[in-house]
């Protein structure tokens, strides 16, 4: 029940974030937020819209969706089950994807725009946020898969 409440809140926050950012792209349920996968042992749990790492250290969300079109934007809400999020990133890139990280109120915390297929990461430890929104997009229309990393 509490999880459902969190999911609703998270969806509202993302919708507000998108509205604030002025993007016309609607959320893509089932694409931006992959369904829970029982075979995944990444240390994440939760509903289709909020991913919480329940353990300390860095954890990877292995089965994340890809940026599939030049205008695709993926958003994911990430947390550490009440603890501050230390870092957020993406890896295993086959194309030049970039990221931005926001707090749950839509305030930009940082971004990573390294070139090529280098992993992207933003250290948000100093901002002391219990939840953040990750935005993934392709540079100059680049498309490809990625793995989300959360440091707790």
Judged by CB under 8 A, does residue 49 bind other proteins? no
What is the DSSP pairing of strand 120-123 with strand 87-91?
A: antiparallel
Is 68:30 a contact under the CB 8 Å cutoff?
no
3-class state of residue 26 by DSSP: coil
Regarding 142 and contact with other proteins (CB under 8 A), the answer is: no
Q: Is 111 in the site for other proteins (CB under 8 A)?
A: yes
Binding of other proteins at residue 115 (CB under 8 A)?
yes
CA distance 139 to 72: 11
Strands 50-53 and 73-79, by their bridges, are parallel
* 34 near other proteins (CB under 8 A): no
Q: Which is nearer to other proteins, 32 or 53 (CB)?
A: 53
Q: Which residues in this chain contact other proteins in the complex, by CB under 8 A?
A: 20-21, 36, 38, 40-46, 54-55, 57-60, 62, 86-87, 89, 91, 100, 106-115, 118-119, 121-123, 125-128, 139, 149, 151
């Amino acid at each position: 029940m509490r999880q459902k409440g969190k999911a609703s809140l998270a969806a509202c926050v993302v919708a507000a974030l998108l509205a604030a950012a002025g993007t016309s792209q609607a959320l893509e349920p089932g694409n931006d937020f992959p369904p829970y996968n029982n075979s995944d042992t990444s240390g994440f749990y939760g509903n289709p819209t909020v991913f919480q790492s329940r353990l300390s250290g860095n954890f990877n969300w292995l089965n994340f969706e890809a940026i599939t079109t030049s205008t695709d934007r993926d958003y994911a809400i990430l947390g550490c089950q009440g603890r501050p999020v230390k870092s957020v990133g993406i890896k295993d890139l086959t194309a030049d994807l970039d990221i931005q990280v926001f707090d749950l109120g839509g305030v930009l915390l940082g971004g990573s725009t390294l070139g090529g297929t280098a992993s992207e990461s933003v250290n948000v430890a100093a901002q002391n946020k219990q939840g953040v929104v990750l935005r993934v997009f392709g540079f100059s229309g680049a498309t490809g898969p990625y793995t989300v990393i959360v440091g707790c």
